[in-house]
Amino acid sequence: MSKTALVTGASRGIGFETTRRFILNHDDITTVVMFARDSEDFDNNVKELEKELPIGRKLVPYKVDVGDRSALKKAVKRAYDEVGNIDILVNNAGYTNPVPLQQVKMADFEKTMEVNVYAPFTIIKALLNRGNTFDLIVNIASTAGINGRSGWLTYSASKAAVINMSQVMREELSIYGTRVVCLSPGRTATALRKTLAPDEDPTTIMQPEHVAQVISTLSSSVGKFIDSENIVVRQ
Amino acid sequence: MYSLILLNGGIGSRTGASQPKQLLKLRGIPILVYALVTADRVEQISQIVVNYPPQWREQIEEVLEAYAISTPVTLVEAGDSRHSSVAAMLPHCTNDDVIIHESARPLVRESDFRGLIESKHKNVSLMSEISFTVAPVDPETSEVTGSLDRDRLRNVQLPQKFSKSDLEASHERAVNEGIEFTEDATLVADSGFPVHFIDGSDENFKVTTSTDLKMAGFLLRPEEDDDE
């Protein structure tokens, strides 16, 4: 069976490691569409990964800022026209700028919601409206969305919204047989974590490939037996 | 291939709501969507003819667009009765075989449609056994006039499939004789065409009252609610 996956925030961290696992080690996935902002990391990582690609497997990179709704909609349309049905979607792209409540700039709060909440919603809605049928949607939330963290108001609020939104999607999309899983990683050595905890030694915490391994298992044939409204992955 | 006649023209007077019941929300989703999405997965259904209550075309079109139903849909305004609606929808069917369903039965399964299609007979209805006793009566005198063997009776359900020509001939006869039926399996059988039945599920009930709506919502709840 030949499946297509779309991963956002695919240039590095959890998104890139998920892409790597999907395209190199997954039994069914033969195409991975990668959404990420234009960056050197993105170009280099795609180039490196392409060298390892097995025959018949394909990466389809799109340079798009998921926080730019109009550009995102266009990219979704182009990707759908190019590769057809997206079977597995991993909404991984995230943004944060942790500041105390009194210093939160409204525009920054809006950007956080745009990337973390509205972008996954926009991708899913745009594809559903085109007649796309998903097998699996994985929304990456955070343990900070389960309990708010001092100093991380905008991030915590956005991730709480992702957890709740996933519960609704899980019910509403059951008419198509779509599984919707919300995954809340704890401390993971990503660029975003570096923004949240700049002084932490990244080698002491969970690595992106660990989370990617969990996502890959969720999308495998046994994935349907791992069922929870919000799966917490932590060290 | 089959044309699906999806009866969707009721105004829902018995649910007591301010809008037709097919637009009421069942677990947050318009009732109409359940049958549409299920039928859309059946590849032998190549056309869906949907009727709509007068004044509600726009809302029905919005639902069809939002849910990206891929099977081509033909919209027809509803008639005064179910019988006249079917008669008005039939000429729009482009296939020689038709399936009739109603959006007020949201718990229809893909296998219900497939069971009809796979049946070797050309006119077939889903029907379920009657689990209670019915008695013939004279309503004028309130007298019980005999007994009925419930093994020889069935609860008529939808969906049903028909040869378009048999259904057309039956409706033509009904018009000529000035008679009206509340559903089509008995109309076609009464008109002299063979009609068979296959067993349906009691979960595929018609949502008519607000209590039915609650029951349907209960049956559609996530399965993990039953977990230990």
Q: What is the pLDDT of residue B15?
A: 58
- Tokens 């070797």 locate to B120
Q: Which residues of B touch A227 (CB under 8 A)?
A: 224
Number of domains forming the structure of chain B: 1
Instruction: Report the topology of domain A3-233.
Output: Rossmann fold (3.40.50)
Residue of B34, B68, B70 lying closest to A175 (CB–CB) = B34
Q: Which residues of B touch A170 (CB under 8 A)?
A: 222
Q: How confident is the model at residue B22 (pLDDT cuts 50, 70, 90)?
A: confident
Closest chain A residue to B108 measured between Cα atoms?
A175
State the CATH number of the domain containing residue B24. Answer: 3.90.550.10
Which residue range(s) make up the domain with B28? 2-222
Cα separation, A89 vs A128, in Å, equals: 12
Cα separation, B195 vs B116, in Å, equals: 12
Region B187-196 average pLDDT: 97
In a domain, B40, yes or no: yes
CA Rg value for chain B: 18
Closest chain A residue to B66 measured between Cα atoms?
A129
Q: What is the pLDDT of residue B21?
A: 82
Q: Which residues of A touch B222 (CB under 8 A)?
A: 170-171, 174
Range with the lowest mean pLDDT among A56-70, A121-135, B10-24, B50-64? B10-24
Region B94-112 average pLDDT: 97
Closest chain B residue to A131 measured between Cα atoms?
B68
A228 in contact with B, Cβ within 8 Å: no
B110 in contact with A, Cβ within 8 Å: no
A52 in contact with B, Cβ within 8 Å: no
Q: Smallest Cα–Cα separation from A117: which of A143, A135, A140, A144?
A: A140
Q: Which of B67, B107, B226 should be substituted to probe chain A, the one whose Cβ sees the most A Cβ atoms within 10 Å? A: B67
Q: What is the per-residue pLDDT across B39-67, written as a single tens digit (0 to 9) for each? A: 999 999 999 999 999 889 999 999 999 99
Q: Which residues of A touch B29 (CB under 8 A)?
A: 172, 175
Closest CA–CA distance from residue A223 to any residue of chain B (Å): 16
Residue of A129, A174, A175 lying closest to B66 (CB–CB) = A129
B225 in contact with A, Cβ within 8 Å: no
Q: Which two tokens stand for residue B24?
A: 């009421």
B43 in contact with A, Cβ within 8 Å: no
Q: What is the pLDDT of residue B80?
A: 87
Closest CA–CA distance from residue A203 to any residue of chain B (Å): 38
CA atoms within 13 A on the CB side of B50: 26
Q: Which residues of A touch B224 (CB under 8 A)?
A: 227
Q: What is the per-residue pLDDT across B30-40, written as a single tens digit (0 to 9) for each? A: 999 999 999 99
DSSP states of B187-210 as a string? HHHHTT---EEEEPPTTS----SH
**CB of A5 closer than 8 Å to CB of A32:** yes
Cα separation, A14 vs A59, in Å, equals: 17
Range with the lowest mean pLDDT among A21-30, A36-45, B27-36, B217-226? B217-226
Residue of A130, A172, A227 lying closest to B68 (CB–CB) = A130
Q: What is the pLDDT of residue B225?
A: 59
| CB atoms B222 and A171 under 8 Å | yes
Q: What is the pLDDT of residue B98?
A: 98
Q: Which two tokens stand for residue A150?
A: 């001092």
Complex ipTM over 0.90? no
A175 in contact with B, Cβ within 8 Å: yes
Residue B13 has pLDDT above 70, yes or no: no
Q: Smallest Cα–Cα separation from A33: which of A96, A92, A98, A79?
A: A79
B37 in contact with A, Cβ within 8 Å: yes
Closest CA–CA distance from residue A108 to any residue of chain B (Å): 31
Does the predicted model carry a pTM greater than 0.80? yes
Q: What is the per-residue pLDDT across A103-119, written as a single tens digit (0 to 9) for each? A: 999 999 999 999 999 99
- Residue ranges of the domains in chain A? 3-233
Q: What is the per-residue pLDDT across A163-215, written as a single tens digit (0 to 9) for each? A: 999 999 999 999 999 999 999 998 898 988 888 888 888 999 999 999 999 99
Residue A15 has pLDDT above 90, yes or no: yes
Which position has the higher pLDDT, A226 or A88?
A88
Residue of A128, A175, A227 lying closest to B68 (CB–CB) = A128
In a domain, B227, yes or no: no
A77 in contact with B, Cβ within 8 Å: no
Q: What is the DSSP letter of A141?
A: -
Q: Which of A175, A176, A224 should be substituted to probe chain B, the one whose Cβ sees the most B Cβ atoms within 10 Å? A: A175
Region B91-103 average pLDDT: 97
Q: How far apart are the first and last CA of chain A?
A: 34
| CB atoms A175 and B33 under 8 Å | yes
Cα separation, A115 vs A68, in Å, equals: 8
Residue of B37, B66, B68 lying closest to A175 (CB–CB) = B37
> What are the φ and ψ backbone dihedral angles of B130, each rounded to 5 degrees?
-100, 120
Range with the lowest mean pLDDT among A19-33, A154-168, B2-16? B2-16
Region B112-138 average pLDDT: 96
Residue of B29, B66, B70 lying closest to A175 (CB–CB) = B29
A172 in contact with B, Cβ within 8 Å: yes
Q: What is the pLDDT of residue A88?
A: 97
Residue B223 has pLDDT above 80, yes or no: no
Q: What is the DSSP letter of A54?
A: P
Cα separation, B11 vs B124, in Å, equals: 28
